[in-house]
Amino acid sequence: MEKDLFLETKNLEKAFDGIKALDGVSLKVYCGQIQGLIGENGSGKSTISSIISGIHTATKGEILLRGKPYRPRSPLDARDNRICMIVQETGTISGLSVADNLFLGDEAMFLQHGSINRKKMQREAEKSLEKVGLSFDVTAPIETLSFETRKLVEIARALYFDPTLLIVDETTTALSYEGRSLIHKIMRDLKEQNKAVLFISHDLPELMEICDRLTVLRDGKLISAFRKEEFDERLIKQTMVGRSIQDNFYRSDFDASHGEKRMMQVSHVDAGPLKDVTFDLHEGEILGVGGLSGSGMHELGKLLYGMLPPLRGEVTVLQDTKSAGGKEIPVRVKNIQTAMENGIGYVSKDRDQETLLLNASIKDNLVISALDKLKTGFFILPRAEKEFSQKQVGSLHIKCSGVNQTVGELSGGNKQKVSFGKWIGNQSRILILDSPTRGVDVGVKTTMYQLIYQLKKQGCAILIISEELPELIGMSDRVLIMKDGCVSMEFQRSPELVESSIIEYMI
């Protein structure tokens, strides 16, 4: 059955500073369908959604809304046309209550005798939350909610205005399993009500499960569109990267052996949400840590890097031989400095906010964690910096115009390579990678996995914290599953290990 056409773009073009982000894209969105949009970083997915939702204006081309020309000047304008968008980053304001956030900018709706009728606003807020299956105190400040619940509040806000087209831009990447399923349900409900959904994601299996149609963008061009019955993971991936890639991009061996040296030891640690955590990390081992977002796995990374002081128990690292004069004794990880001195490197889950200096050059970013290694006497000479950063750019194949390019201008994958380079460059022996492939496309993922595997072969101890189980199963020698701050289960690498056998220890 052919559905009603809701929105159509015709040869849409958009240029930023003369660089084309979108090049003649013609896309159709039907009522009662979930339209998926996928592509590598920088392929134009976010650009097209921000044009439709009125954040940007197109340079060329036109959009037809139910056959009539449509040129939104602002997100409000788009909302009046019943188009709402939920973005990847947080769209709520701390310090305001949930209800205030829900009706931010629309307080006038509750105006009564010149002041706002709070009671009415709160009642409406509760109602709108019910729509997405939530119920809690709407007068509470929004920052008391978890990241996930805040995201759902944003969705409630969008749905309150009864949109005909809901754009979901990579919202699910940051969410846990439960959060995702809730959003999936909301999208399916909208579809039932004959509304349209434009769903943008990196996660191909997720898109294939949810969407009725899938459009692939590459380099700002529409490459190909698939109907549900034509979905084929391998073919779509090939279309995305424009070259054929192997079906399995994880490591192919099942050899879970590693060195005997215990690089890091965690014994009976209580810290933050963590309760009685004990494990070892060995030389040349890839240890995966999985769990739901509230399970404490991200805190585990911070603990190992000396950012989260243990209340009880001990975290030790094998002292760097160079500083201990040949002897290798375990020392306590007291703070970030002891961690770094003993060769621990850490890449945060929130790469842009916590690991990189976005306004600084690639060079500045790479050298900042290796300043002591680059010193000639008291000085850090430009030549040493340049050689050092060019070496990293070369060996990691970072795509850039030069080491002086600003990191903020790079694509997600290249940014991630820079954050890896920071620690590989200063010869870290232990890498703690929190969600290393978050927000990174398939092509770069493959490179990341190869890199991690190479580092293992070189004897690095690697801890991968991830919400993606296939990644953990595919890459780790050993997988720890966390639940409510405890390690609930441990799995060894084996061909028989599958997601379904792990999930029950997470929930």
Partner 1 sequence: MEEKNTLKSGFGSRILHWIQNYKQYIIQYFGLIFVIAVFLYLTDGDLFSARNLETLIRQLVVILTITLGMAFIYSHGGMDISVGAVVALSSLCATYVMNLTAGQVLPAILVSIAVSVTCYLLNIIVTNQFGLMSTISSLSVMFVARGIVTYVNSMSTDKIEVHNTAGLELFRSNTPFLIGTMAVLCIVMTVLFNLTKLGKQNRAIGDNPLSAMQSGVRVKKVKVEAYVLAGIMVGIAAVFSLSRTGSVSEKTGSGLEMDAIVALILGGMALNGGAKSRISSAIIGSFTYVLLNNGLVMAGVDTQVVSLIKGIIFLIVVFLTIRQPKSKKVLPR
Q: Binding residues for partner 1, per CB under 8 A?
A: 15-21, 41-42, 46-47, 50, 55-56, 219, 305, 307, 336-337, 340, 346, 348, 353-361, 364, 367-369, 371-372, 375, 378-382, 401, 406, 409, 411-412, 422, 439
Considering the complex, what minimum distance in angstroms separates the CB of residue 425 from partner 1?
Answer: 11
At residue 41, φ and ψ (nearest 5 deg) are -60, 135
Considering the complex, what minimum distance in angstroms separates the CB of residue 359 from partner 1?
Answer: 5
Q: Which is nearer to partner 1, 256 or 381 (CB)?
A: 381
Those residues whose C-beta lies under 8 Å from the C-beta of residue 267, and which sit 6 or more positions away, are: 278, 313, 314
Q: Which is nearer to partner 1, 10 or 20 (CB)?
A: 20
Q: Which is nearer to partner 1, 307 or 503 (CB)?
A: 307
Considering the complex, what minimum distance in angstroms separates the CB of residue 357 from partner 1?
Answer: 4
Considering the complex, what minimum distance in angstroms separates the CB of residue 262 from partner 1?
Answer: 24
Q: Please state, in angstroms and rounded to a whole number, the distance separating the CA atoms of residues 210 and 207.
A: 5
Give the amino acid at 8: E
Considering the complex, what minimum distance in angstroms separates the CB of residue 45 from partner 1?
Answer: 8
- H helices then E strands: how many in the chain? 18, 23
Considering the complex, what minimum distance in angstroms separates the CB of residue 120 from partner 1?
Answer: 35
Q: Which is nearer to partner 1, 310 or 343 (CB)?
A: 343
* 95 DSSP 8-state letter: T
Q: Which is nearer to partner 1, 114 or 382 (CB)?
A: 382
Q: What's the token pair of residue 458? A: 């070189």
Q: Please state, in angstroms and rounded to a whole number, the distance separating the CA atoms of residues 151 and 159.
A: 13
Q: Please state, in angstroms and rounded to a whole number, the distance separating the CA atoms of residues 371 and 220.
A: 39
- For every residue of 110-165, which 3-state class applies, written as one string? HEECCEECHHHHHHHHHHHHHHCCCCCCCCCEHHHCCHHHHHHHHHHHHHHCCCCE
Q: Which is nearer to partner 1, 362 or 469 (CB)?
A: 362
Considering the complex, what minimum distance in angstroms separates the CB of residue 18 from partner 1?
Answer: 3
Q: Which is nearer to partner 1, 117 or 406 (CB)?
A: 406
Q: Please state, in angstroms and rounded to a whole number, the distance separating the CA atoms of residues 197 and 443.
A: 27
